[in-house]
C-alpha cells in the first residue's frame, strides 16, 4: 500500500459480536451525572468550572449542570434543564450565564447534541501556548482534521452575541481549543463527546511531553490515521462509555439518585 492510500477502519472492517453493556437502563439525567463524575474522576474538570449540555434530538431545551456544584459531586437530581436562550426550565438550582457558549453552539451545530466544556490541565497548557496539540500518537487520530483553535482570549463568554461569534467561527470541528482558556469537545451523543473529552487531555499531555524531549517526533501516515479515526469513534466510544458508566456506578451508586 502506498503512503497516499486511505486505510479503512471502523465497523466496516470489524464489528464485535458481543459488547459489554452498562447493565442498567439509565435516564437522561443519570447519564449526565455519570458523565460529570467520570470526567471529574479522570481529572478533566477544574472543580466546579465548565458545563456539559445535552440537547436530545428533536428538542430545543437541554440538560445542564447547575452553578456551584463540583462535577465530582453531581447526582442525577441535580441536573437542570434550560431552554435555548439559557433560561432555567426545571431543576432545583440556578445556571450561570457562561452557559451561552453551549446554547449558541447548539444553535449553530445541530449535529453536536452534546457539548462539553472545561479547563483540563494539559489542554490548558497547550492552549496557553496558543497552538493546537501536535498529533503524535494513534489516539490523536481521533482529532485528525477535526480541531479548531480560537486564538484570542477575550474574557468570559457570558453573552449570547459573544458566544454566537465563537460558535460561527468553529465551523464543523468537534474539538475546539480556546487559547488561554480551555477546551470544547462535542459529539452527536454522550458517548462520543465524552470520548473526545477524555482523549484530548491525554493527547495534549503526550504532545507536551514530546515537546520537552526537544526531539522531532516520528510522523504518522495520514492514510492510516483516517482508518484509525473511524475505528476510534465508531468502535471505541460506545464501549468506553459503557465501562466508564459501570465503574462510576460501582464506585458510588448514589450518582443515580
Ligand atoms: Zn471556561
Determine the distance separating the centroid of ligand 1 and the alpha carbon of 186, expressed in angstroms.
15
Q: Rounded distance, CA 214 to CA 227, Å? A: 29
The predicted-structure confidence for 146-156, as pLDDT tens digits, reads as follows 999 999 888 88
DSSP state of 71: G
Protein residues within 5 Å, CB atom, of ion ligand 1 = 182
The predicted-structure confidence for 63-115, as pLDDT tens digits, reads as follows 999 999 999 999 999 999 999 999 999 999 999 888 999 999 999 999 999 99
pLDDT at 17: 84
Determine the distance separating the centroid of ligand 1 and the alpha carbon of 119, expressed in angstroms.
6
Q: Rounded distance, CA 122 to CA 17, Å? A: 36
Mean pLDDT on 32-44: 98
Determine the distance separating the centroid of ligand 1 and the alpha carbon of 156, expressed in angstroms.
7
Determine the distance separating the centroid of ligand 1 and the alpha carbon of 66, expressed in angstroms.
14
Who wins on pLDDT, 232 or 16?
232
Q: Rounded distance, CA 22 to CA 249, Å? A: 9
* Among 64-73, 135-144, 148-157, 190-199, the least confident range: 148-157
Q: Which CATH class is domain 28-247?
A: alpha beta
Per domain, the residue ranges of the chain are: 28-247
Q: Rounded distance, CA 253 to CA 239, Å? A: 20
Q: Using the predicted structure, report yes or no on whether residue 236 has a pLDDT greater than 60.
A: yes
First to last CA, the chain: 53
Amino acid at each position: 500500500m502506498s503512503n497516499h492510500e486511505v486505510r479503512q477502519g471502523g465497523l466496516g472492517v470489524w464489528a464485535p459480536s458481543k459488547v459489554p453493556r452498562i447493565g442498567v437502563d439509565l435516564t437522561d439525567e443519570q447519564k449526565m451525572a455519570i458523565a460529570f463524575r467520570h470526567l471529574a474522576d479522570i481529572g478533566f474538570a477544574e472543580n466546579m468550572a465548565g458545563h456539559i449540555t445535552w440537547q436530545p434530538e428533536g428538542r430545543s431545551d437541554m440538560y445542564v449542570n447547575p452553578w456551584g456544584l463540583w462535577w465530582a459531586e453531581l447526582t442525577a437530581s441535580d441536573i437542570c434543564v434550560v431552554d435555548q436562550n439559557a433560561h432555567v426550565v426545571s431543576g432545583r438550582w440556578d445556571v450561570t450565564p457562561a452557559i451561552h457558549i453551549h446554547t449558541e453552539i447548539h444553535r449553530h451545530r445541530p449535529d453536536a447534541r452534546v457539548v462539553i466544556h472545561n479547563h483540563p490541565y494539559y489542554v490548558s497548557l497547550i492552549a496557553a501556548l496558543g497552538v493546537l496539540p501536535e498529533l503524535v500518537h494513534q489516539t490523536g487520530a481521533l482529532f485528525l482534521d477535526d480541531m479548531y483553535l480560537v486564538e484570542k482570549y477575550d474574557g468570559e463568554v457570558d453573552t449570547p452575541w459573544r458566544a454566537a461569534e465563537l460558535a460561527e467561527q468553529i465551523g464543523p470541528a468537534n474539538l475546539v481549543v480556546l487559547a488561554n482558556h480551555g477546551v470544547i469537545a462535542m459529539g452527536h451523543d454522550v458517548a462520543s463527546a465524552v470520548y473526545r473529552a477524555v482523549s484530548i487531555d491525554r493527547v495534549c499531555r503526550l504532545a507536551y511531553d514530546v515537546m520537552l524531549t526537544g526531539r522531532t517526533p516520528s510522523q504518522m501516515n495520514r492514510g492510516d490515521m483516517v482508518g484509525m479515526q473511524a475505528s476510534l469513534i465508531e468502535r471505541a466510544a460506545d464501549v468506553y462509555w459503557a465501562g466508564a458508566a459501570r465503574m462510576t456506578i460501582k464506585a458510588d451508586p448514589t450518582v443515580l439518585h
